[in-house]
């Protein structure tokens, strides 16, 4: 069922997604040009990509404490929460991290909007976090990761690259998010990239919308990870505070700017 739905979704995306040369001048066109299709200098991020390469070669096994859905390929014991399993670092790096192309999009977007306050749910080894920290060193980034061993690797990576605009919180989202929302009345950029379960993602999204600034935005990753995630994305787009929503197939971006009309757009990525 999921495979068939994905196939149909992809066809629909290819046919109906907007192409840059057909966009009218305005916010959407600027976003497409500066964030989706801009070609940043890859050399700027070569040190982070070297770190990714090292992770992809790392044969060491770590004990993962997983507060989310677990990787698709991991056998899950029913009833145990959080899930605990051993996994090679190279396997986590291969399956959990955003691709270089997606990371460059994240960096472009951070560089273009220059959000002062960024919250990321789901650090893993911090590759995406590193890109956005590099893209705008002025941004104050908080990233939350539930697994202690994964967090330790991410923290070492941040230290070795000298990112001092990242605060890593090792906690499950349910504990850390309410506290973060209480202490941060204005969030300019939110990233939801962990626990890809419909009810959880909707809950995190709803919490973030309470403090998202008028010119802020929330990026939801893996909107087609499962049938549940596809349903969650539909509900998120219809949320009363969301005006423009942009579907890049693997990720969705929601804007809250009241000056924008309520519109659902698919952009070829
Ligand atoms: C897809 S990975 C994040 C990838 C990362 N953003 C990147 O692109 O480099 C998701 C991470 O979220 C963490 N996670 C999932 N559910 C969580 C929860 N409820 N609380 C805390 N961390 C969670 C997992 O341990 C995992 O490392």
In order of 16, 48, 103, 178, the CA distances from 19 in angstroms are: 9, 31, 21, 39
- Supply the pTM of this predicted model: 0.95
Distance 37 CA to ligand 1 centre (A): 27
How sure is the predictor about 2, in pLDDT bands with cuts at 50, 70 and 90?
Answer: confident
Quick count: other Cβ atoms within 10 Å of Cβ 108? 21
pLDDT digits (tens, 9 = 90+) for 186-235: 999 999 999 999 999 999 999 999 999 999 999 999 999 999 999 999 99
Tokens of 28: 């959407």
Q: Give yes or no for a contact between 125 and 149, defined as CB atoms under 8 angstroms apart.
A: no
Structure tokens at 141: 């980034």
pLDDT in tens, 24-77: 889 999 999 999 999 888 889 999 999 999 999 999 999 999 998 766 656 666
- Ligand 1 mean position, distance from CA 89 (Å): 14
Domains of the chain with bracketed CATH: 2-44+97-266 (3.40.50.150)
For ligand 1, mutation pick of 82, 96, 103, 174 (most atoms within 8 Å of CB): 96
Strands (E), 5-163: 61-66, 83-88, 117-121, 140-145
Sole residue written with tokens 């976090």: 129
Q: Give the pLDDT score at 19.
A: 82
What's the pLDDT tens digit per position in 130-164? 999 999 999 999 999 999 999 999 999 999 999 99
C-alpha to C-alpha distance for 63 and 257, rounded to whole angstroms: 42
Mutate to test the pocket of ligand 1, among 126, 194, 222 (most ligand atoms within 8 A of CB): 194
Residues at CB less than 6 angstroms from ligand 1: 66-68, 96-98, 122, 124, 127-128, 144-147, 150, 172-173, 193-195
Q: Residue with structure tokens 């000298």?
A: 162
Radius of gyration of the chain (CA): 18
Task: Determine which residue's CA is closest to atom 12 belonging to ligand 1.
Answer: 122
Strand partners, 245: 254, 264
- Measured by CA distance, the residue closest to atom 11 of ligand 1 is 122
């Amino acid at each position: 069922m999921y495979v068939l739905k994905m196939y149909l979704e992809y066809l629909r995306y290819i046919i109906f997604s907007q192409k840059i040369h057909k966009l009218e001048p305005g916010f959407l066109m600027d976003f497409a040009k500066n964030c989706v299709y801009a070609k940043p200098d890859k050399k700027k991020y070569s040190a982070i990509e070297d770190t990714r390469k090292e992770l992809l070669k790392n044969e060491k096994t770590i004990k993962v404490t997983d507060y989310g859905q677990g990787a698709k390929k991991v056998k899950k014991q029913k009833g145990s929460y959080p899930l605990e399993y051993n996994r090679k670092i190279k396997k986590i790096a291969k399956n959990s991290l955003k691709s270089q192309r997606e990371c460059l999009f994240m960096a472009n977007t951070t560089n273009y909007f220059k959000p002062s306050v960024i919250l990321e749910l789901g650090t893993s080894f911090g590759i995406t976090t590193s890109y956005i920290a590099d893209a705008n060193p002025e941004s104050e980034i908080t990233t939350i990761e539930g697994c202690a061993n994964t967090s330790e690797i991410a923290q070492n990576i941040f230290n070795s690259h000298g990112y001092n605009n990242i605060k890593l919180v090792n906690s499950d989202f349910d504990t850390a998010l309410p506290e973060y929302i209480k202490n941060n009345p204005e969030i300019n950029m939110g990233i939801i990239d962990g626990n890809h379960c419909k009810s959880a993602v909707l809950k995190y999204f709803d919490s973030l919308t309470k403090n998202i600034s008028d010119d802020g935005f929330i990026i939801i990753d893996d909107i087609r990870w499962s049938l549940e995630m596809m349903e969650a994305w539909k509900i998120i787009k219809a949320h009363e505070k969301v005006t423009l929503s942009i579907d890049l197939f693997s990720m969705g971006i929601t804007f809250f700017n009241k000056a924008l009309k309520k519109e659902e757009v698919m952009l070829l990525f």
